[in-house]
A and B are shown apart, each in its own frame.
Chain A
Amino acid sequence: MYPRWLWSGFSLPGVVWLILLFLVPFYAVIGVAFGSVDPLLQTPVPAWNPATWNTGWITQVLQEMAPGGVYWDPVRRTIYYVAISLGLCLLIGYPVAYYIARHAGRTKTLLLVLLIIPFWISYLMRMLAWVNLLEPTGYATRFLDFTGVSDLAVRSGLLLNPQSWLGGASITVVLALVYGYIPYLILPLYAALDRIDRSHLEAARDLGASPFRTFLHVTLPLSKTGILGGCVLIALPMFGDYYTPDVISGAPSTTMIGNQIDLYFHGGPQPTKGAAITVVLSLFLLIVMGYYMWTIHRATREASRA
């Protein structure tokens, strides 16, 4: 027979990876946030021992991120952008995942491959490509002009003029976030939808439920973990994103909280402040993550009862 430790030993590389490449660096960020700055070289002096932590930076950052503080606008903007982007990603991504899982038939493999294609190119390169496409004479701008989308955006007050997609518009940043992150949502959604036992759907139909009611009362609840998983998967990086608004907009009116972190980590005497913003943001995301974990736990418990 196999030794008892064999199977759990398979998790060792993952655990080591997690400790070395996540926990240790993250504790370093915490150490920096609660530490000080070398007066000569202006490099962070981390406080490794919690007993010596200087809470001044965290306190200051918390005040500045609160309503009325310097960072309130970027915080508010980040939450809006992420919320709207998540909504759009779900609106677009769910039907796609649903179609592939339920109706794609023989083309399922092909569609899945097509979904994975964006991963072949780095996120940044895809964003940079949009800079060319959305220039005043770019192909995308011309197409949006031709189809009347630009006019609609201008009339709605989302755009200054039909050629100003790169002129620091929030709509461009949101659409770029949607474009950049949507594949990461569709894949877990597809996996969740594909796992749904068809006998449940058939049972609902046999009991007289219309297709819409079947979807509403069977498919949607059963795909909830997939929806939450996909949302968490894309919301976490979106909250820390700084290069999308940097590349696509560049306007202070569209900066996200990640841009402030970027500013403080790129030189100057306050890397501790950058680390403090990172820690506060992480705490906020921990709450989001906690809700997800709790939902998953509850769903698993209910499934095992059933």
Chain B
Amino acid sequence: MAHPKDRPTGWASNRREFLERSGGAALALSGAAGLLSACSNSTTTATSTNASGQKLGPGGYPLARPNQPVTLKRWEDPIDSNLPPETGGTFTIYNYPNYLDKGVMKSFGEKYGVEVQLTSFQDINSGIARLANGGVHPDVMENTPDNMARCVAAKLIKPLNLDYIPNLKKNLWPSLWSPYYDQESRYSVPYTTYATGILWRNDKVSEDIASMPQPLDIFWQAEAYKGKVALLSEPRETIAMALLRKGVPTGSNMSTLDLINTEDPDLINQAVADLKQLDSICHIKVGDTQFQTIPEGTTYLNQAWSGDWLAAYIFYLPKNTPASVMSYWKAPTGHVPVQNDCWSICSTTTKPVLSHLWLNYINDNGVARKNFLDFNGYQPPLEELDPSTLISDGTFPENARTAILTKDDFGQGHIEECTLTTTGQQLWQNGYSDFLAG
């Protein structure tokens, strides 16, 4: 699954995150012992099929899809309403290292009389493993839709009492009030949103990408930009792009949503074969630093998340480079993969009321906007942040319009890269490994 928070914020922290990530990997390579105690507690079968032939995921829930929403069972009652927040001590947030503004955390601590501490993970999977093996005891965590059922099945997150979180319906897009992966928002509230498209330097790339019959073809026509073309280093994103480029196979009754969540080995293998052609065509690179390399001009053409344009503009655009040189294209709703991140309350919390208040606080208009524009660069799903407002108030220039999402992007018919069965995940990961092998 794509995780743009792998994108660090700030040049210095870019290096810092790489060091942390590499350190984590080195640890994994040299000693996996830390991971191991998490392994023996769970016996739930991850995937199988129910009576109606639906594929089941963690906890026996059907694999959640926008057209097949899932209601997660509450494994315990939520806390009562109208309880006073806990005060004193430490409030621990479990998140990526550079995905939350320190000022936002500090203000929350001052408001409720607690010391706010960030405990970080390098990727969501290792984060969940550490949570499961008791290596960390956070109060709240940043979470992703594809991990929601797993976290509930393993009782790692607690059911919510939405009475404490009025900002959900007051400030956020209605399309995310009761998301498909967690109907009724029983365990999560949204955090940031993004789409996957193409980011390019229009002063270096001569083609009018947005006007091409299939803009994704540009990667297969990029001979002129050898060494300056890159894809995201995410198995789901790269292979999904190759699948979307060719579209639903003729004669197939699958939808575009089915296509980007396919577990058909033939389709995956064809997509990987297509991706492998890119080496000879444009000497393709992979990486998640397009928010930096595009404004700096070290790459000209990148697969990218919508937030990359915004982050590039806010943080990385050199002073003598106009924003007009950066273009972003994404397909229309129903053809562009979109995604959102979430917040959940961890079962290890010692401050359940305060944790609810955090989920409300982070979706406050002012707080979410500050976190977005001052640090994070990824758009929260606030009603007040529509493209027209952000452009008319001068926050972004006109050509940012295509990179700013609206509630319609998450509306009827939208597509997402959703949870796969274990077999499906292996298929996609092995396919990406094959592409990465060069």
Contact = CB atoms under 8 A, between A and B. Distances in A.
Contact of A41 (B22, B31, B154, B425): B154
A252 B38 contact: no
Most buried by B among A40, A128, A164, A250: A40
B201 interface: no
B426 A262 contact: no
Nearest to B14: A128
A243 B39 contact: no
A45 B436 contact: no
Interface in A210-263: 240, 242-243, 246-247, 249-255, 258-263
A107 B42 CA distance: 64
Contacts of A43: 35-36, 38-39, 129, 132-133
B437 A260 contact: yes
Interface string B395-428: 0000000000000000000000000001001100
A267 B123 contact: yes
B42 A40 contact: yes
B175 interface: no
Given A32-B36, A46-B36, A252-B279, A247 B46 contact: no
B36 A71 contact: no
Given A39-B422, A46-B36, A263 B436 contact: yes
Given A168-B227, A251-B285, A263 B132 contact: no
Given A46-B36, A242-B25, A251 B283 contact: yes
Contacts of A252: 276, 279, 284-286, 435-438
Nearest to A128: B15
A183 interface: no
Contacts of B429: 263-264, 268-270
B226 A39 contact: no
A41 B132 contact: yes
A40 B226 contact: no
B32 A70 contact: no
Given A40-B150, A122-B19, A73 B40 contact: no
B437 A255 contact: yes
A85 interface: no
A54 to B, nearest CB: 14
B432 interface: yes
Contacts of A74: 437-438
A117 interface: no
Nearest to B40: A45
A29 interface: yes
Contacts of A191: none
Contact of A39 (B45, B124, B433): B45
Interface string A62-74: 0000000011011
A45 B39 contact: yes
Contacts of B18: 124, 128, 243, 247
Interface in B264-313: 276, 279, 283-287, 296-298
A104 B59 CA distance: 70
Contacts of A167: 226-228, 283, 285
B126 interface: yes
Contacts of A271: 32, 35
B438 A251 contact: yes
Nearest to B289: A250
A125 B15 contact: yes
B30 interface: yes
B128 interface: yes
Most buried by B among A21, A31, A249, A251: A251
Nearest to B228: A167
Nearest to B129: A43
Most buried by A among B43, B285, B296, B433: B433
B29 interface: yes
Given A122-B19, A135-B296, A269-B426, A260 B433 contact: yes
Given A40-B44, A270-B426, A255 B15 contact: no
Interface in B36-78: 36, 38-40, 42-47, 58-59
A275 B32 contact: yes
B31 A40 contact: no
A150 interface: no
A269 B438 contact: no
Most buried by B among A45, A240, A268, A270: A268
Contacts of A40: 42-46, 58-59, 150, 153-154
Nearest to B275: A252
B33 A25 contact: yes
B260 to A, nearest CB: 17
A271 B25 CA distance: 12
B15 A250 contact: no
A118 interface: no
A160 B433 contact: no
Nearest to A127: B18
Nearest to A122: B19
17 contacts: A28-B32, A37-B422, A38-B42, A39-B46, A40-B44, A41-B129, A44-B35, A45-B39, A70-B433, A168-B227, A168-B285, A252-B276, A252-B279, A252-B286, A253-B279, A266-B126, A268-B426
Given A24-B33, A29-B30, A247-B18, 16 more contacts: A38-B40, A39-B44, A40-B43, A41-B38, A41-B132, A42-B46, A43-B36, A70-B430, A70-B433, A70-B434, A77-B438, A135-B298, A136-B297, A168-B227, A168-B283, A266-B123
